[in-house]
Amino acid sequence: MPLLMCPKKAYQKAELKLLFVGQQINNWGHYRLTPGNYQAWIKSLMSEYSEYFDLEKVRRTHFWEVIQSVNEKLKNGGKTVSCLWTNINKINQSKIVQKQYYKSTIEEFDKILQGEIKIVRPDLVLFLTGPSFDNKIKDIFKGVVYKKKGRFNLKEFAMLSHADLPDCSFRIYHPNYLIRFKNRRYKKVLRQISSTKIK
């Protein structure tokens, strides 16, 4: 089942809206899709997201540690801040047999992210996907341009430019890799993001 975002009132009212995009989640969505009942299915998936995603309650993993760090650092600017989380792969593809007849279905689910971003209108999008998912980003956001930032190379830190993404859109390493450099590049990456001037 696809991962569908469900913004809470705090996000809608926030002066600064953040979106964190991971790779993919395991075993998401426990609802059986039945023909003619699509609205209830979508509502159930969004409800599951709403119950699961809470920065105060999520498990303490490297992934959530980075999200919480960025979220807290940007709060220091004095604006109200709220965030959403999703994944570049809207469905768990780790167990999918890579056969041709799955391809069109996966591509249809890929369109969801682009549509969601247009709806939730984040001020900053941070792809925590690492360079290994760059082709996926390019498939979804056709014509996206990657630019270097500061002294970082493109694998470490890339600015993304696309009509469907906000001006402050970046791609960094996945936290499980980034956290290895906690005393060096990790802090520099976080500092670079937190010092970004967001309109």
Condensed to tens digits (0 to 9), the pLDDT of residues 126-148 reads: 999 999 999 999 999 999 999 99
Q: Is it the case that residue 38 has pLDDT exceeding 60?
A: yes
Q: Is it the case that residue 30 has pLDDT exceeding 60?
A: no
CA distance 185 to 199: 26
Mean pLDDT within 36-54? 74
Give the tokens for residue 172: 């960094």
Q: Is it the case that residue 114 has pLDDT exceeding 50?
A: yes
66 compared with 184, residue with greater pLDDT: 66
Confidence grade of residue 97 (pLDDT, cut at 50, 70, 90):
very low
A 10 A CB-CB count for 147 gives 11
9-194 folds as Rossmann fold (3.40.50)
Q: Is it the case that residue 187 has pLDDT exceeding 90?
A: no
CA distance 30 to 126: 27
Confidence grade of residue 103 (pLDDT, cut at 50, 70, 90):
low
Strand order in the sheet with 157-161: 81-87, 16-22, 124-127, 168-172, 157-161, 145-148
Taking the domains of the chain in order of start, what are their residue ranges?
9-194
Output Rg (C-alpha) for the chain, integer angstroms: 17
CA distance 158 to 126: 10
Which of helix, strand or coil describes residue 133?
Answer: helix
